[in-house]
Amino acid sequence: MHQASRIFFFALIFIILPVQVQADALEQGINAFENGQYQTALNYWQPLANQNNPDALYNIGLLYMKGLGVKQDYAKAKKIFKQAAQYGSVDAAYNLGVMYKTGLGAHPSTKDAIYWWKQAAEYGHADSQFNYGVMQAYGNGVKRNEKAAIELWLMAAEQGHEGAIQAMAQAYEQGLFGLPLDPAKGRSWRNLLSKH
């Protein structure tokens, strides 16, 4: 019985240790990035990306998107963001939405932009909630749904998203998107902008 406990204890160490090593390498890469050492950051992140670490993949996608330490390559950035999003990076999903909407790295696709923003919005990503709300409010690529737009903007606004706060203020000030005309509520939302 004592021997079995010892084996189990060592097994836990081997399971936990790689996670700490990944966290250290990720952090070292972030420090290098912040110091403008983009190639060094890439060297820290690449082994993690090879193991499908979503944060490392996202960071490498940013390097390619912005051309930092590597040749700018939107198509490669999009491919890496897609992999990161599939492994759980909501920031990568948001960026995919932007890339599809604007045509960076591919032909513009409102349908694909909506798909990725919806995915990230469901996980509470404020920028995605705002963008997906805009698409809902105006029926851009989806059936117009003002109620869903307001709900999305409200969720984003509660996280401090300035665009969503602005949208809520304007909707009340002008009685838009199914909300009643209510200048007082509009001012109340606008007051939140001055606090951000």
Q: How much of the chain, in percent, has pLDDT values that exceed 70?
A: 88
What is the Cα 90 distance to its own chain's centre? 4
Q: State the alpha helices, DSSP H only, in 35-73.
A: 38-50, 54-66
Q: CB–CB of 61/80 below 8 Å?
A: yes
> For residue range 160-183, what is the model confidence (pLDDT) as tens digits?
999 999 999 999 999 999 999 999
Tens digit of each residue's pLDDT (9 = 90 or more) over 96-114: 999 999 999 879 999 999 9
Split at pLDDT 50, 70, 90, the class of 21 is low
What pLDDT, on a 0 to 100 scale, did the predictor assign at position 20? 59
